[in-house]
Amino acid sequence: MSIMRKQDRPVEVLLVEDNEGDVFLTRKAFEKVGRKVNLKVASDGEMAIDMILKNHPYDQAVTPDLLLLDINLPKRDGLEILQFIKAHDRIRRIPVIVLSSSRAEGDIIKSYDLQASSYIVKPNDPLGYGQFVEAVEKFWFECAELPQDKRAFS
C-alpha cells in the first residue's frame, strides 16, 4: 500500500512551469482525479529553488511529494534545477518528473543522467493532460512507495 493511501493528508505537488496554459491544463486534470492534491506552481527556476528550500518568502512552503519540472524556464532552466536538487542531500529524494515539450534526445539523456524519475513529453491537448495526470496519480500515489516521514525529504 502506498504512502498516499495510508494518509488522509493531501498530496503536495510542485509544478515548475512558466506557460499559463500548461498550468491551467495540469490544474484542471488534477482536479478531475478526485484525490486531494495541493498543486503549487513556480513560474521560474529561481522561484522553484526558493520554494523547495523554503527560502523567504516561502518559509512556510510544504516540501513536495512530487515535482513536475519543465526544462525551458526563465532564470534557471529545468536541468539546472534537477542538478541542484539531486546534489543536495536534504531534497534529493523528491521524485522529479521532467515534463517538457522537447523531444530532443540530448534533453532526455541529460535528464536521466541527472537522475530524473521519468521524462514525459507534454501532452498537446486537454485529453492528453488528463491521461498524463491519471497515470502520474496511479503510479506515484497508489503504486510507488515513498518515505512516510516527510523529514526524509527535508
CATH number at residue 104: 3.40.50.2300
The structural domain count of the chain equals 1
- pLDDT given at position 3: 45
CA distances from 141 to 35, 112, 134, 135 (A): 9, 21, 10, 10
Inside any domain, residue 150: no
Q: Determine contact, residues 51/38, Cβ cutoff 8 Å.
A: no
Inside any domain, residue 55: yes
Inside any domain, residue 3: no
Write out the residue range of the structural domain in which residue 137 sits: 9-145
Inside any domain, residue 49: yes
pLDDT along the chain (154 residues), means of 10: 56 94 92 87 95 90 92 94 93 94 95 96 90 90 73 55
Inside any domain, residue 2: no
Q: Determine contact, residues 100/108, Cβ cutoff 8 Å.
A: no
Q: Nearest 5°: phi and psi at 12?
A: -95, 115
Inside any domain, residue 152: no
Choose among 132, 138, 143, 71: nearest CA to 107.
71
Inside any domain, residue 77: yes
- Predicted TM-score (pTM) of the model is 0.88
Inside any domain, residue 43: yes
Q: Is 103 helix (H, G, I), strand (E, B) or coil?
A: coil
Q: Is 55 helix (H, G, I), strand (E, B) or coil?
A: coil
CB contact burial 61-92 (16+ within 10 A = b; e otherwise): bbbbbbbbbbbebeebbbbbbbbbbbeeeebe
